[in-house]
Structure 1
Amino acid sequence: MTEMNFLTRDDYKNLLVFSESLNPYDMDFRKEAMNNLLKYFSFEGAAFPLVDDKGYYKHLVYVNFTPVSIESYERDCYKKDFFAPANLKETYEKSVFTIEDFTSYVEYEASSLYSQCLHFNGFYYEALVLLRDEENKPLGAVAVYHGRQSKGFTIREQKLLKEIGIIMEKAIRIHLKCLSMQNNLFFLNRIFTRHPIGMILCDENFDIQEINREAYQILEALGMAAGKEDAKLLLTEYILPACQEGGSNRLFLRVATGLEVFLENMIVKEQITGRFITRYAVFLKPSVDSNTVSWTAYLTEKGLTRREREVADYLCQGCEIKEIAEKLSISLNTVKRHKESIYIKLSVNRASQLLVLHQKIQNSQ
């Protein structure tokens, strides 16, 4: 019987059902997607790698792979994968690849990719569709496998894989953005807990992602509504123009008496894709002619020396001992001694109690 070189009605039906089964917001999206892929289509194995920042396939999800082959790929075949974008010798117009696009089967059988990885699963033929991001850069791939009993991938199967790639490309973009948001919010929330001062978190376009409680209190003190709209107004009408004009990430806002603003950009590495993205943190706090004077006066009243007051201020900003030592050009042991002395004089036992005390003094004004 002659093999059909076109997609059938059942193929399109399975593509529709497969597409509807995908949930890119699920943390296990890639694993579930590959399980469903083998459920609706007659491939014998599947893998879903992402492209790391070096151009190789990493963070693989496997279906029907043995533990031995998985370990071998991660250990020995990471940079020896014929299909990895870093190993592409030229730019291909096509999106679906097979071994014949890259090498001979003699070289393929002698490779560690086959002998140490695919061989353990009974796989021989591999076909892959490359997935790309919004900038047309390699993002990941969907790979499928047949055993030696097969004659390879037919034209119909390659067309089918191309349609699967179109579906998966859209879904994986959504999935990675979702993971990126979750990872970034986790990272940024940790910063929130370290800084008991007003803080507004923004993405690379200065769109506000989160605002902490202290920032809302400062907005109310300025006579503004404690919401994102007025926070956006404060950011775009006052903070950003002042930063651009002054060319500094620290400024004193004239919009309200005694308000200092610090703008810091943070480079965050996404755990999944390995990409670096920019986030901005806007710190709001009373200036030296306002609540800070009361806090300083309180520390002085408690017998803290000038250096201890400086260390205490940095501790309240969430700085680590090493960071404080670098800022003040003193040794780590000196910072530790100052910290112990501060705790004794203020009758606190840990950093969280110091932060609570600091906030209490500020809120009492």
Structure 2
Amino acid sequence: MLRNTNQSPVKSGVVYIVDDDAAVRDSLSWLLENNGFKTSCHESAERFLMALTNSDTSVTACALLDVRLPGMSGIELQEKLIEQGHLLPVAFVSGHGEVKLAVQALKQGAHDFIQKPFKEEAICGLISQMLNKAYLNQQQNSEVKKAQSKLQGLTKREKEVLECVVAGCTNKQVAENLNISLKTVEAHRANVMNKLGVNRATNLLKLALTHGQLN
């Protein structure tokens, strides 16, 4: 039995297994848990979505989906997850290796499409990759939200000054554009940098251009 000794934050993550075959769910759950992963099994897309609604979104997670499910199919479930804005990476494990379905799943962002029977090493490697991707997605999303929150905390005038700076205006040009004094521009610019937690003009521009939502 493989043992995953990676001590990264993904080890606290959850692997959702969505398959209508109880034997497959049990087999995958046993395999993954014996390799140090946590699992949560669901027999249909509908039950999985219900459970996901009540889950802790801060927990790193990924999903292994069967293509053919009762009711909503695995492909339709993938579409629903995208529609609802869930960031968790998904992969398909299926005994039905239709090329058309595989291509559609991958085009929609699936991490992989694996046919049964599969090798233990392949599944464990896939899960590690997906949980690592999920963790990085969470970190990036958290940084974006923090930056956007800081930007939204600026006053109307501070946003106007920042917009001018991002457009490449000098302090003198900002003063002329907004019909305020140079000292007032300097004061607003200092306040903007302080609120956004940056100490250089280049960092200010990078943050504003990357995460800018000033309206």
TM over 0.5, shorter chain? no
TM bracket, shorter-chain basis? 0.3 to 0.5
Greater RCO, CA 8 A, separation 6+: 2
TM-score w.r.t. length of structure 2: 0.33
